[in-house]
Amino acid sequence: MGGIFIFGALLMEWEEKTNKVKVDSGHRIAIPAEFREAIGAKPGDLVLVTIEEPGTLRVRTFDALIRQTQAWARQYVPEGVSLVDELIAERRAEAAREDLESSGS
């Protein structure tokens, strides 16, 4: 089974694949090269491993997690709105108020 994931403007087509791997004596598993390439994992990269349900692991790159989080947040932030700019403006206004209060004492 395959599908299409949409992350913002990024459209990714994928095909589901399965591979059998062995748990070694150190309780480790190796991710097959084809799978590492498919998720964009390179030597030294950190990946997030999640237990989805008993017996099921999910492996994600941090890039994938960031894209998923951004897609989730976009549904709550109107187009053209910068939360960073809003936060900076709020902090500057708060600092200005504090300056006024301290100079008035």
Domains detected in the chain: 20-104 (2.10.260.10)
- State in Å, rounded, how far the first CA of the chain is from the last one: 70
Whole-angstrom Cα distance, residue 97 to residue 104?
Answer: 11
Residue 57 has pLDDT above 50, yes or no: yes
- Residue 25 tokens read as 């004596």
Q: What percent of the chain has pLDDT over 90?
A: 50
Instruction: Indicate the average pLDDT of the chain.
Output: 85
The DSSP bridge partners found for residue 4 are 13
For residues 30-54, average pLDDT = 91
Q: Of 24-33, 70-79, 82-91, which range is least confident?
A: 70-79
